[in-house]
Amino acid sequence: MSTVLAEKITRRYGDRTVLHELDLAIERGEFVALLGKSGCGKTTLLRALAGLDPVDGGTLEVPQRRTVVFQEHRLLPWWKVWRNVAIGLPRATARAKAQSALEEVGLADHADAWPVTLSGGEAQRVALARALVREPELLLLDEPFAALDALTRIKMHGLVRDLTRRHRPAVLLVTHDVDEAILLADRVLTMREGRIAAVHEVSAGARERGSAPFAALRGTLLGELGVTE
């Protein structure tokens, strides 16, 4: 039984078909990365899975407990960090749960800070804590590292890998970054013209940056995206 099951889902904006009878299944604990050029429909797919946009056709099964980490942290600036993490939780346990989620992302001592005082990487870690505190069955990551500097991004990759291994939600990561997709995912999909164009299982060996399997998979993926180095 898959956590996410999409069969022949279609989404149109006017005459443009953004998702074209797309099929996708993600198991519990599985980390799937989705690559594709701008405008290929990957964000539309993520938003459909998040329940933010409807689909026009096909069937879509997603779990109730699902959360999104967006490219921007989207913290409420008028709430302290811990309240942002606890947003929507029952009041009685909110503080304790937020605190332990913040501990997991290494920001326990920022619980009472205002969001404006955080750096970009810290704010994104708070957003991650906000997603995890809900114990999601499906975690949707919409280019969450795109706005971070290279060093912070590397640290975030490690953090996300650890956290998803511990909590084992189904994960869909939408990204432009081929390296990031290979390093984090169990399976990398490329999307073209509203469909899944190719599927690649990532072997353990391929996760070594600089190894031969890594380079090979990277070359293949870049080729599929129409990029030559």
Partner 1 sequence: MSTTAIAGPVTKAATGATPPKKRAVPYRTISWIVPALLLLAWELLARSGVIAPEVLPAPSSVGTTAWHLTETGELPHHLWESLQRAAIGLAVGAGVGLVLGVLTGFSKLAEAIVDRNIQIVRAIPFLAILPLVMVWFGVGESGRYFLVALGTMFPIYLNTVLGIRQVDPRLLEMGRVAGLSRINLVRAAILPGALPSILLGLRLALTNAWLALVIAETVGAPAGIGFMATNAREFLQTDVIVLVIVLYALIGLTTDLIARGLERRLLAWHPNYAPSGGRK
Dist. CA 193–CA 3, nearest whole Å: 25
Dist. CA 144–CA 12, nearest whole Å: 25
- From 14, 78, 150, 226, residue interacting with partner 1 (rule: CB under 8 A): 78
Count, in order, helices (H) and strands (E) of the chain: 7, 9
Question: Is residue 54 within the footprint of partner 1 (CB under 8 A)?
Answer: no
Nearest to 181 by CA among 155, 217, 131: 217
Determine contact, residues 193/18, Cβ cutoff 8 Å: no
Tokens of 112: 């009472």
Residue 74 or 209 having the CB closest to partner 1: 74
Residue 78 or 151 having the CB closest to partner 1: 78
Question: Is residue 88 within the footprint of partner 1 (CB under 8 A)?
Answer: yes
Give the angle subtended at the CA of 37 by the CAs of 36 and 42, to the nearest 5°.
Answer: 50
Name the segment binding partner 1 (CB under 8 A); options: 67-75, 98-106, 153-161, 204-212. 67-75
Question: Is residue 94 within the footprint of partner 1 (CB under 8 A)?
Answer: no
Dist. CA 43–CA 66, nearest whole Å: 16
Question: Is residue 42 within the footprint of partner 1 (CB under 8 A)?
Answer: no
- From 37, 56, 72, 147, residue interacting with partner 1 (rule: CB under 8 A): 72
Residue 67 or 175 having the CB closest to partner 1: 67
List beta partners, residue 173: 33, 141
Smallest distance from the beta carbon of 116 to partner 1, in angstroms?
A: 5
- From 44, 67, 164, 175, residue interacting with partner 1 (rule: CB under 8 A): 67
Contacts with partner 1 by CB under 8 A lie at 50-52, 67-68, 70, 72, 74, 76-79, 87-88, 114-116, 130, 134
